[in-house]
Amino acid sequence: MDELFTAIRGKGAFLNGKPIKASSQNELVKSLLATEMGYLFRDVAAGAVIATEAGGLVLIRNSGKDFDISSQRVSSYESVPKDAFIEALQQ
């Protein structure tokens, strides 16, 4: 699999050099959710930049607070309502 995801803060997210965007799906059951985006600090930080630049949102898992660079347990989602996402994380 030759996939290289990159992002530059304020300039967007890319897959193999082509722009990518989070979907406009607004139903949680049909949305892509990711949790524990990486085990290393750099993986989490890079994943957070890629997700946010693509239009997704990254939160601290279980608390629903906005991503903090020191967070070790994070979750990311597309464009579903934030409340629905937080509720799903807490189940």
Give the pLDDT score at 83: 72
Measured between alpha carbons, how far is residue 60 from residues 2, 15, 48, 55 in Å? 30, 25, 11, 17
Least confident of 2-11, 17-26, 44-53, 68-77: 68-77
Give the pLDDT score at 79: 57
Question: How many other CB atoms sit within 10 Å of the CB of residue 38?
Answer: 15
Chain centroid to CA 44: 10
End-to-end CA separation in angstroms for the chain: 33
Residue 30 tokens read as 């049909």
pLDDT in tens, 54-83: 988 787 766 677 777 776 666 666 555 667
Per DSSP, what are the bridge partners of residue 25?
none
Domain ranges of the chain: 5-89
